[in-house]
Copies of this chain bind each other. A is one copy, B any other.
């Protein structure tokens, strides 16, 4: 029997709601992965990704698999067994970076910042100083597990000053906050499609600086993964009209990505960031009016991912289940050490809009009231509306 999904409002840590234009693009007729028209599409996607990433990097493409494969693409291509990599960890995804380094036979030097905080710059500086032999510094720009934003400019600068490469995870960042790969001087950056791009999940945009591209092409050992080996992938995603078959690209998902990136360009990067910021401020005003607090300090909050502390008396899982059952509204649970302690409310891409903010606040208020939390009914939505000025 065919599967008909319920119609949810997606306000978790991703996937976010998909733009109708993107869904429609997804179902356009499949063509071959070596069709001249498809090669043209690939070139356009490359250009649109360069716009989104704000980079001139030639090696910019979507990996044919989700964000964790994008992460792995960066690590397995840039590093060889024995390499030392400094991992500045402040959440789940920094932990995954460490796993990547270890599994490829590298040595991860881990410096931890408490979860919910931006990566500590002084600690980063001193770790880099203590390990001049390290090949790279890796960190998460937008930590999806906590909602913390780290200072990519400062951290990439530290890395390059020390002669090290910088690896940046901005899976949740791209399209929602400033991502400026060339300005940062970042060497390898990966993202996802199902967050602030409001495209379907399954692809991972990546970009590599000329410096890191050179590292990849002059390795001593082959990349451990055949599928992710960029030296092979580039024969397919590279320049010119003659492309060699490497793997069969996920053709329809790439139609969707092209459409989502086209929409981002139509809106403009600045306008998109501003929209994400506005809706975040409105949500925050509403949450505060209910007595709820964000766990990340104001200066390093991701507007698109709001980690909310669960009040002591509240059964957090019951709230999420009730939101889903009664409002068809998905918000996220905590991950790792924040499991059971926070909700993660996403305002990403298409999902970042005033209707979603108000709906989420009203629904959350209803659930908290039903668990006996004392609230001034209606105050949350009113506070959000006041922020919007109407």
Residues A22-63 near B (CB distance < 8 A): 23-33, 35-38, 41, 44
Q: Give the distance in Å from the alpha carbon of A115 to the alpha carbon of B263 in the complex.
A: 47
Q: Give the distance in Å from the alpha carbon of A202 to the alpha carbon of B3 in the complex.
A: 19
Q: Give the distance in Å from the alpha carbon of A23 to the alpha carbon of B24 in the complex.
A: 10
Residues of B within 8 A of A67 (CB): 247-248
* Shortest CB distance A344–B (Å): 12
Query: Which of A5, A66, A68, A103 gathers most chain B CB within 10 Å?
Result: A5
| B2 touching A25, Cβ below 8 Å | yes
The closest CB in chain B to the CB of A252 belongs to B200
| B248 touching A1, Cβ below 8 Å | no
| A192 touching B15, Cβ below 8 Å | no
- Known contacts A8-B31, A248-B194; A1 and B104 CB within 8 A of each other: no
| B72 touching A31, Cβ below 8 Å | no
Determine, out of A150-158, A253-261, A287-295, A302-310, the stretch whose residues face the partner at the interface.
A253-261
Contact with B along A80-116 (1 / 0, CB 8 A): 0000000000000000100110111000000000000
Across the interface, A248 reaches (CB within 8 A) one of B14, B96, B262, namely B14
Q: Give the distance in Å from the alpha carbon of A252 to the alpha carbon of B198 in the complex.
A: 13
Across the interface, A15 reaches (CB within 8 A) one of B225, B246, B251, namely B251
| B262 touching A2, Cβ below 8 Å | yes
| A258 touching B103, Cβ below 8 Å | no
Across the interface, A8 reaches (CB within 8 A) one of B35, B68, B202, namely B35
Instruction: Check: A10 CB closer than 8 A to any chain B CB.
Output: yes
* Shortest CB distance A259–B (Å): 6
**A interface residue count range (under 10 / 10 to 19 / 20 to 34 / 35 or more):** 35 or more
Residues of B within 8 A of A201 (CB): 30, 33, 248-252
Residues of B within 8 A of A104 (CB): 224
Q: Give the distance in Å from the alpha carbon of A278 to the alpha carbon of B102 in the complex.
A: 52
- Known contacts A103-B225, A247-B68, A335-B245; A32 and B4 CB within 8 A of each other: no
Q: Is the interface of A mostly helix, strand, loop or mixed?
A: loop
* Shortest CB distance A85–B (Å): 14
Q: Give the distance in Å from the alpha carbon of A201 to the alpha carbon of B249 in the complex.
A: 7
Instruction: Check: A69 CB closer than 8 A to any chain B CB.
Output: yes
Residues of B within 8 A of A262 (CB): 1-2
Instruction: Check: A327 CB closer than 8 A to any chain B CB.
Output: no
Residues of B within 8 A of A100 (CB): 226
| A30 touching B10, Cβ below 8 Å | yes
- Known contacts A222-B103, A250-B200; A6 and B37 CB within 8 A of each other: yes
- Known contacts A3-B41, A8-B32, A224-B103; A65 and B65 CB within 8 A of each other: yes
| A226 touching B31, Cβ below 8 Å | no
Q: Give the distance in Å from the alpha carbon of A246 to the alpha carbon of B66 in the complex.
A: 11
Across the interface, A330 reaches (CB within 8 A) one of B4, B21, B31, namely B31
Residues of B within 8 A of A200 (CB): 30, 250-253
Q: Give the distance in Å from the alpha carbon of A26 to the alpha carbon of B253 in the complex.
A: 10
| B65 touching A252, Cβ below 8 Å | no
Q: Give the distance in Å from the alpha carbon of A68 to the alpha carbon of B262 in the complex.
A: 29
Q: Give the distance in Å from the alpha carbon of A36 to the alpha carbon of B37 in the complex.
A: 39
The closest CB in chain B to the CB of A258 belongs to B3
The closest CB in chain B to the CB of A221 belongs to B103
Query: Which of A3, A30, A249 gathers most chain B CB within 10 Å?
Result: A30
Query: Which of A24, A32, A99, A223 gathers most chain B CB within 10 Å?
Result: A32
The closest CB in chain B to the CB of A69 belongs to B227
**A-B pairs, 10 with minimum CB distance:** A202-B250, A65-B65, A27-B27, A68-B247, A23-B27, A200-B252, A201-B248, A18-B30, A5-B31, A69-B227
